[in-house]
């Protein structure tokens, strides 16, 4: 996984892994969730990938737009 830059300094996200049709997000507590083209959908995953690479806004986007609409919990 790639470390999330957390440019705001207040994110609850530690790291991410980008796949062709999904993104895995590791939160500060250690839990890892997969978001894919089914849940929460292609547009949301595309936005999440862009925010992850920018290092800013990903946690806010998840909280406001995605919440518990993830494909699976990996750990």
β-pairing verdict for 2-3 and 32-36: unpaired
Task: Identify the band that residue 49 occupies on the pLDDT scale cut at 50, 70 and 90.
Answer: very high
Task: Identify the band that residue 20 occupies on the pLDDT scale cut at 50, 70 and 90.
Answer: very high
Give the Cα separation of 22 and 5 in Å (integer). 19
Q: What is the reported pLDDT for 75?
A: 95
Phi and psi dihedrals of 40, rounded to 5?
Answer: -100, 0
DSSP classification of residue 20: S
Phi and psi dihedrals of 43, rounded to 5?
Answer: -65, -45
Between vectors from CA 16 to CA 32 and to CA 70, what angle results, nearest 5°? 50
């Amino acid at each position: 996984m790639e470390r999330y830059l957390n440019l705001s300094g207040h994110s609850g996200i530690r790291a991410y892994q980008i796949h062709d049709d999904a993104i895995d997000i590791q939160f500060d507590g250690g839990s890892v969730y997969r978001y894919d083209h089914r849940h929460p959908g292609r547009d949301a995953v595309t936005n999440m990938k862009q925010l992850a690479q920018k290092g800013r806004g990903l946690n806010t986007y998840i909280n406001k737009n995605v919440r518990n609409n993830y494909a699976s919990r990996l750990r």
